[in-house]
Amino acid sequence: NSLHEDYEVELVKYGSHDIAADAYDSLVAMINQIKSLGYYKVTSIHRSMGTQQYIWNNRMSGYLASGYSKEGAYTAVLQSVAIPGTSEHHLGLAVDLSAGTTVHNWLAQNSWRYGFILRYPPGKTAITGIVHEPWHFRYVGHELAKELYDLGLTMEEYMDMLTEQAGYGAGTASDPKNSN
């Protein structure tokens, strides 16, 4: 989804990164729990439009250099990089954690306890439009994180469920044509 041009977020420092103030305490608590489990490193939290544009351009260049057509490269990049202006990292609520398998597995099962969800779980690419990213966690708050975990739903599936319950029909929230 596109970030509204008037959107503002209060950011605070977490090491060398900026994070939304609302997510800070939960991230600290979650990180404190994984410290004893093995290797981890916070690789990205808040990203400016410029940083996202750099990542997008770099990925596009890589696909083009390997022989993809412009359209093919664009399609391939969309599976793993958000279009600048649509990244959850712009919100300061998405956290990328480089970690070993033990830590990633623990986070997939327990991040909800800290208000985070595994944003792009395995087997859900057709729903989210993004390939499985075991490192990408999104802060949604404790209540919603627990509900999503208990129901086994992605944010797109949850939004579709709410849309259907409200009588608007299914298939609208997770439709890739509606996400940009």
- Cite the active site residues: 133
State the number of CA atoms in the 13 A half-sphere of 156 facing the CB: 21
d(CA 175, CA 147): 22
Count of other CB atoms within 10 angstroms of residue 154: 20
CB-based burial, 100-122: b 16+ in 10 Å, e otherwise:
eeebbebbbeebbebbbbbbbbe
Instruction: Check: CB of residue 19 under 8 Å from CB of residue 45.
Output: yes
Give CA 89 to chain center in angstroms. 7
Bridge partners of 118?
A: 137
Q: How far apart are CA 136 and CA 126, in angstroms?
A: 17
